Amino acid sequence: MRIQQGPTPPPPPQPGQRVMENLQGVKNIIAVLSGKGGVGKSFVTASLAMALRKIGRRIGVLDMDFHGPSMPTMLGVGQELLEVVEAKPGVARIAPAEGYMGIKVVSIDLMLSDKTTPVVWRGAIKVRVLQQLLEDVEWGELDYMLVDMPPGTGDDALNLVQMFPIIDGIIFVTIPSEISSHVVAKSIRFVEIIRKSLGKDIPILGVIENMSYFVCEHGKEYHIFGRSGGEKLSRALGTRLLGRIPLDPRISESNDKGASLIDLYPESPASKEIVRIAMEIEDAVNKA
């Protein structure tokens, strides 16, 4: 007996294909990285998101720092957990939370009912979770998705960033103290590996030096953590120094409140520099 075969089924989706399809409404995906922890990378990510939103851009923030998620707090997200919605009959999707001025936020912190529970996942689990977030979150139309990467340039950051079939730009955050040569070398090597694995010459949009200096009440600058770290890293990476954000005790206050420093203290040197850097990023993206 001859069995009649039906139509040939379509080939299975290629790795990253579903992610590409789901993120087709996102114009620019920018990864925010740091050579090591403790440099204020998450603060910079949240501040840039707020500044870009203030000038009318549609913003989403993906918090990939699984062990120290802070985006929901910094961006003033009110809800406790992400919600699943029915995008169309029979199709369930994850709806991002909304923070400052409607910024869309997705974070592991919004997936844990007990916020004190430590995340002890290994690399393979993190990759699977990220894949689901990239494929199943209803991101919609965005001008920018800012990705707050895990600190450092180790396996965690590398495995996760390689999940993105498309990255349009990279921003490095550092501090002004003298950066050791091995941290700079690791940062350069990290970018080389990303470019090779994704088969794309992903542009480094620039370096941001955080905690650059402190301005006293008399207007004098004090370089508490030294000088030249941002310049050294930007030269090594062959990119520009986007700017220097000064120290300001009110930054911690605004972070804890989930408020925008540029709204609370618009005339502060830090606020003015954040806004200026956001415009620099717009310019860099348009030229990339």
User: Does domain 25-287 fall into CATH 3.40.50.300?
Assistant: yes
- In sequence order, the β-bridge partners of residue 191 are none
Burial grade of 160 (CB within 10 A; 0-12, 13-18, 19 or more):
buried
* Spatial distance between the Cα atoms of 126 and 66, rounded to a whole number of angstroms: 8
- Digits of tens for pLDDT over the chain (288 positions)? 444 555 554 444 455 788 888 999 999 999 999 988 889 999 999 999 999 999 999 999 999 988 889 999 999 999 999 999 887 788 889 999 999 999 999 999 998 877 777 777 777 888 888 888 889 999 999 999 999 998 888 877 887 777 777 889 999 999 998 666 678 888 888 888 888 887 888 899 999 999 999 988 888 899 998 888 899 889 989 999 999 999 999 999 899 889 999 999 999 999 999 999 999 999 989 876
Asked if 173 and 37 touch (Cβ cutoff 8 Å), the reply is: no
The domain segmentation of the chain, as residue ranges, is 25-287
Q: pTM above 0.85?
A: yes
Pairing relation of β-strands 241-247 and 204-215? parallel
